[in-house]
Amino acid sequence: FLLPPYYSVSVRSPASIEEVEAAPDANGGGEEANRPRVVQSNESSAKVDEPVATENSDAAPAEASVDAVNGKIPPTELIPQHPLEGVTLTERTVRITGNKKQIEAAKDIIKQAMSQVLVEANGVTRTLVLNRPKQLNALSSEMITCFLRCFTAYEEDDGVKLLIVKGKGRAFCAGGDVAAVVRSINNDSWKYGAHFFRNEFLLNYIIATYSKPQVSLLTGIVMGGGAGVSIHGRFRVVTDSTVFAMPETALGLFPDIGASYFLSRLPGFYGEYVGITGVRLDAAEMLACGLATHFVSSDRLSLLEESLKKVDTSDPFAICGIIDQYSQQPSLKEKSALNRLEIINKCFSKKTVEEIIASLEQEAPNVADEWIASAIQSMRKASPTSMKISLRSIREGRTQTVGECLRREYRMVCHVMRGDFSRDFFEGCRAILLDRDRNPKWMPPRLEEVHDEVVEKYFSKVDDPEWEDLDLPPRRSHGRRLVPKL
């Protein structure tokens, strides 16, 4: 099978498989210690499934790959600590050796690590498939790590010119697996959550500043973290089934993953409306406001994908030309809030959340549209703290680069994970994702009780000697520019 870049198997001897799994690496453990490792033995030999032959691949034969991980290339060079450092690898096939029990254990470890992201190679195109359909492809820590290594390696690989990202099943990606984050924080430490978001935000940054074109095929649900691995990319193709939302304020969180960058660049004050209310947008609305670049009907999407897999260029104009051949311009529904952008601008340009709600309530009797009543209802149910920090975050994002937005959002999310000033995130996840009673008890429960001094603290550095600001590597680009098609 295809190994995503930077995934390899460390062959060590003598030891049992359990000992190898638990053993710290030469650099002192950490993330390296949890990677798949295989024990070497001369008792028997077996392949991990069948090696996949790929066109235009530098893959070494299976035996040569064993040589690489069997001492000729140190594992610390094969799998660098930082995803942007070290050598660049392309696809590899892997042969593992050992007794039957060891081989089966090693295969299980590798498959579990790899199965959540499938990598398909077609010429110079690589397709990354989010593969947790039962969880609506919610981003796990393993998926984020795999994406990081794929994007990093492919950017340096001249044999890769185009990336396609899609989801398996009825969702592209319903967001980050925050329920798993909450469980881990409850069982361990807030630093697990900080590590999860640090890697996720680094991935968002790499995608936003990527030098090669990325085409995201946004079928079904696109929410939260799913937006982070797609909206920052160059091409975002929506279809009949696409549903987009940033529902974080209902969870006691805020629109993160660099959302303060792209929401603040939507027409007028539409970004405040989308980010604070968590409203769901259809494909036509995404295209009209600039979140999407193209609309392709569901019955033509597979044809587009096949055409993209035949390209031999990284020229974004050429890629855009191919997508244009299959795209069309959908019409906004009459009830769409984008048809009332002047009212949205009037209300969501107010200075405070309290003033926004008051303005909406003042407009409601004069407008029969249901979107106003829905917006008011959503804001009445959302976390007061979340709405206030979200509004300020989007406002600050207007004058910041994508990197600056992500650094600020990382500070904010670390305060949320620590529960420094509010436990609303844990209460929201309990009510919506875990117990599912959908009746969160926010603290404080009213907007007027969330004072400006508390909001200010979310944007400050974390008071912990072991905490560090988000360190983003220097990149040539500063992020994509969203172009509305209103």
For the chain, how big is the Rg over CA atoms in Å?
A: 23
Q: Is 282 a catalytic residue?
A: no
Q: Quick one: pLDDT band at residue 99, thresholds 50, 70, 90?
A: confident
Residue from 175, 176, 268, 271 carrying the catalytic annotation: 176
Mean of pLDDT values over 262-283? 97
Q: Which residues contact 142 (CB under 8 A, 6 or more apart)?
A: 113, 116, 117
Q: Quick one: pLDDT band at residue 479, thresholds 50, 70, 90?
A: low
- Category of 142 on φ-ψ map: left (φ > 0), alpha (ψ -120 to 50) or beta: alpha
Q: Which residues contact 293 (CB under 8 A, 6 or more apart)?
A: 234, 235, 236, 237, 287, 320, 323, 483
User: Alpha-carbon distance 157 to 161, whole Å?
Assistant: 8
CA dist 241 → 134, 297, 307 (Å): 18, 9, 21
Instruction: Please determine, for residue 95, whether its predicted confidence score (pLDDT) is greater than 60.
Output: no
When comparing pLDDT for 47 and 124, which is higher? 124
- In eight-state DSSP terms, residue 431 is I
Q: Is 463 a catalytic residue?
A: no
Q: Is 397 a catalytic residue?
A: no
User: Alpha-carbon distance 291 to 236, whole Å?
Assistant: 7
Q: For helices 341-348 and 270-277, what crossing angle results, to 10°? A: 70
Mean of pLDDT values over 125-152? 93
Into which CATH architecture does domain 117-458 fall? Alpha-Beta Complex (3.90)
Domain boundaries, the chain: 64-111, 117-458
Instruction: Please determine, for residue 189, whether its predicted confidence score (pLDDT) is greater than 60.
Output: yes
Q: Which residues pair with 222 in a beta bridge?
A: 173, 244
Q: Quick one: pLDDT band at residue 374, thresholds 50, 70, 90?
A: very high
CA dist 148 → 160, 172, 303, 461 (Å): 15, 18, 28, 26
Residue from 177, 200, 248, 282 carrying the catalytic annotation: 248
The residue type at 113: A
Q: Quick one: pLDDT band at residue 87, thresholds 50, 70, 90?
A: very low
Range in 21-25, 290-294, 326-330, 463-467 with the lowest mean pLDDT = 21-25
Residue from 256, 285, 305, 427 carrying the catalytic annotation: 256
Mean of pLDDT values over 146-165? 94
Residue from 175, 224, 225, 428 carrying the catalytic annotation: 225
- Structure tokens of 242? 């696409």
Mean of pLDDT values over 292-299? 97
Look at residue 265 in the predicted model and tell me its pLDDT: 96
CA dist 310 → 2, 126, 128, 174, 342 (Å): 19, 11, 16, 29, 44
**pTM for the whole structure:** 0.79
Look at residue 183 in the predicted model and tell me its pLDDT: 83
Closest to 455 (Cα-Cα) out of 254, 181, 228, 259: 254
User: Alpha-carbon distance 317 to 156, whole Å?
Assistant: 21
pLDDT tens for residues 15-42? 322 322 323 333 333 333 333 333 233 3
Q: Quick one: pLDDT band at residue 1, thresholds 50, 70, 90?
A: very low
pLDDT tens for residues 35-70? 333 323 333 333 333 333 233 333 332 322 322 333
When comparing pLDDT for 301 and 65, which is higher? 301
Whether residue 157 contacts residue 195, with contact meaning beta carbons closer than 8 Å, is answered with no
- Structure tokens of 292? 């999407």
Q: Is 158 a catalytic residue?
A: no
